[in-house]
Structure 1
Amino acid sequence: MAEGTGTAPALRLTPVEIQQLLENSISVVDGIRLVSVEADALIFAVAAHALSQRQGGTVSGPALFAAMDVAAYATVNGYVGHVPTATLSSCSVEFLEAVRPAPLTVQVRLLRLGMRKAVMCAEVTGDGVLVAVATLQFAVPARAARTALAAVD
């Protein structure tokens, strides 16, 4: 939601531009792609080969965190415009289920877009089971945030 309003701002990047951001601007990304833009969320698919494993064959927590972080970064850029300096400033993650390497889905919802912060919720699912959930806050350069908020008014 935009600060002071009850509506989410419109995306400032197209889905194609968001996918290009994933492919060209984030060097560690391999196997994450934008699959859907919903009214209140962006949906990303994570390929099984992009997920590191722990002994015992389950996906590691850092791999799940990385998928949520990258998806949230792409979401911030989608709503604010191409802002390579958007920085994760706070994150709280709950790992709910162990999961074997398989394609996963990350759904990211923008909860609040303010003058300097963007707050999102990311949920990871695999085989229809909620695997992890996170609240992520990104610091956004003030100029970019003002431009995005002005588009809502």
Structure 2
Amino acid sequence: MDCAALTEFLQREFAQVADDFEVLAVTATGVDIRLRVAGRHLRPGGTVSGPAMFALADVALYLAILSRIGPVALAVTTNCAIDFMRRPAAGRDLIAEARLLKLGRVLAVGDALIRSEGEDAPVARAGLTYSIPPGA
């Protein structure tokens, strides 16, 4: 699936959150995704919340998997570990670079590196495992 197909899939299957995300690129190893940071993503003190960063990592790897196997809505997260390394830059969107490390018949493993837009230093890193339904 390319950027347009992934965007359409998000709009159709996850309309409740689709407008929060923008598919920037399908790469050789995964996808790049933007979280359009809004007030609802902030915690007290004005920084992007951990749950918002988790959502970005989760959506990014999910779409990386779908970019390879097609629109399989029932692929699900089975594990996630996330390290929060520094405070995101104020007033900037977040960009996740999701990378597939293994894509098997029943499991996919990957990671997502999250940065504030325009910054080199990562704000978070997540490792995720997904279960792929039979027949996908």
Q: Is TM more than 0.5 here?
A: yes
Counterparts of 2:122 and 2:130, CA distance in 1: 23
> What 5-or-longer segments of structure 1 have no aligned partner?
1-12, 145-153
User: 1:54 aligns to what SS in structure 2?
Assistant: coil
2:115·2:124 contact (CA, 8 Å) conserved in 1? yes
Q: 2:128 aligns with which of 136, 140, 146?
A: 136
Q: How many residues align?
A: 132
Percentage of matched positions with identical amino acids = 30
Tell me which residue corresponds to 1:113. Answer: 103
Superposition deviation, residue 50 in structure 1: 7.2
Which segments of 5 or more consecutive residues in structure 2 lack a partner in the other structure?
A: none
Letter matched to residue 20 of structure 1: E
Change (3 A) 1:50 1:89: farther
Q: Aligned to 2:44, what secondary structure does the other structure show?
A: coil
Mark the structure with the bigger radius of gyration: 1
TM-score, normalised with respect to structure 2: 0.89
Contact 2:113–2:126 (CA under 8 A) maintained in structure 1: yes
Of 60, 65, 71, 1:71 maps to 60
Deviations 1:55-100 (A, max 9, x none): 1111110010011111111111111111110000001110111123
1:29 paired with 2:18, answer yes
Instruction: Kindly state the Cα deviation for residue 115 of structure 1 after the two structures are TM-superposed.
Output: 1.4
